[in-house]
Amino acid sequence: MTELTDILYKQSFSSEDIVYLLSLTKESEVQALIDHAYAIKKENVGSKVYLRGLVEFSNTCAKNCFYCGIRRENDKVRRYTVSDDEVLDAFDFAWKNNFASVVMQSGERSDPGFTKRVGTLLKKIKKNTNQELGITLSCGEQSLETYKQWYKAGAHRYLLRIEETNKELYKRIHPNDSDHCFEDRIQALKDLRTAGFQVGTGFMIGLPFQTLEDIAQDLLFIQEFDIDMVGMGPFIEHEATPLWEFRDQLLSQKERFDLSIKCIAVLRIMMRDINIASTTALETLDPHGREKGLKAGANIAMPNLTPKKYHEDYLLYEGKPGLFKDKEEVKEIIEDKVARIGETIGYGEWGDSKHFENRKPADT
Ligand code: 5AD
Ligand code: SF4
């Protein structure tokens, strides 16, 4: 334990330190890591869980990532777009129930029809909710101009996962074309900050060919990039994707889950005041995944408010939980989960990243 304790109390982690922590398997040691991270979370961001009511407003995607179930070439997917009224209705529920913040997520499109619609919708949501609802976007790579327009229209946080920072591995999990360029993704993260957003990123854990060293680099990237919010979770194979072919080479789902929990704990120690989401993918692999993520250092939950009729068409991976649940039920479930771990929900608070607030004005 002394080696573990020495590492846990270091000022900063090297890649080797991170690999050491991610390699822990002894239950008492893993628990010591998790407990240390949880104490840091409580001290720095408190024990409130902030909600982000999620609407997956379209599953149409112009991209073809090798891991994702709604990739362009999966022609078994019924493509949908949630109507403006349905989006407004879902967010009205979020507002009236004091969620305070929401996320609009979609497949990636950058045609003018799409970018214009998002801008108009943002303005409508803001107006309908008395400018009170905080809005996060998760709509992929766009031009700086589009990011600026969306920021002006009312969104103030943006999630764009880097997916994987090892360039070689990035190329193996994406088509080799100009739509899936690693450098463009990095540039998009920079542009988001230029546009004024609180910037979120993240990566998948347990991808085929991914090593613990790769994951250590992913975590260090988040730190070096001075990211405000993180959503990361286990890779889950999907039959209708090219990566399905490598399913026999993956870590077991339990190992991927455990590794994801360790990643949350390590990142919380590395970045004390950021927002970290306890992701849906965690809950897919373990019915108590969301609570376990929160106990390891996460402080954000994203209950799904997408109208029920669209749920089965937004399957990025298989086994997604919460299918066909009404928003009322979704609210009850998250309240129950949060209460079970002795935390409270930050109702009525945006719950912005403290890291963003704490950054010196000169750096923003
Ligand atoms: N397993 C886990 N996460 C996935 N995503 C896409 N496909 C999968 C998968 N098979 C994640 C990506 C993307 C986010 C919206 O969902 O990280 O950025
Ligand atoms: Fe599209 Fe995102 Fe899926 Fe890639 S991960 S295919 S960009 S929805």
Q: What is the mean pLDDT of residues 258-284?
A: 97
- 360 pLDDT band, cuts 50/70/90, is low
Cα atoms in the Cβ-side hemisphere of radius 13 Å centred on 45 = 35
CA of 340 to the centre of ligand 2 (A): 34
CA–CA gap between residue 163 and residue 308 (Å, rounded): 28
Q: How many CB atoms lie within 10 A of CB 101?
A: 23
Q: Which of 58, 68, 141 to mutate to test the pocket of ligand 2 (most atoms within 8 A of CB)?
A: 68
140 lines ligand 2 (CB under 6 A): yes
Q: pLDDT value at position 359?
A: 81
CA of 317 to the centre of ligand 2 (A): 11
Q: pLDDT value at position 362?
A: 52
Q: For the segment 297-339, what is each residue's pLDDT rounded down to a tens digit? A: 999 999 999 999 999 999 999 888 777 789 999 999 999 999 9
Q: What is the mean pLDDT of residues 221-236?
A: 98
Q: Which of 71, 317, 318, 320 to mutate to test the pocket of ligand 1 (most atoms within 8 A of CB)?
A: 317
CA of 236 to the centre of ligand 1 (A): 8
CA–CA gap between residue 262 and residue 21 (Å, rounded): 8
CA of 62 to the centre of ligand 1 (A): 15
What is the position in ligand 2's atom list of the atom closest to the CA of 64?
A: 6
Give Cα separations from 19 to 36, 163, 259 (angstroms). Answer: 17, 19, 11
How far apart, in Å, do the first and last CA atoms of the chain sit? 40
CA of 142 to the centre of ligand 1 (A): 18
Query: Could you give the angle at which helices 15-22 and 253-270 cross, rounded to 10 degrees?
Result: 140
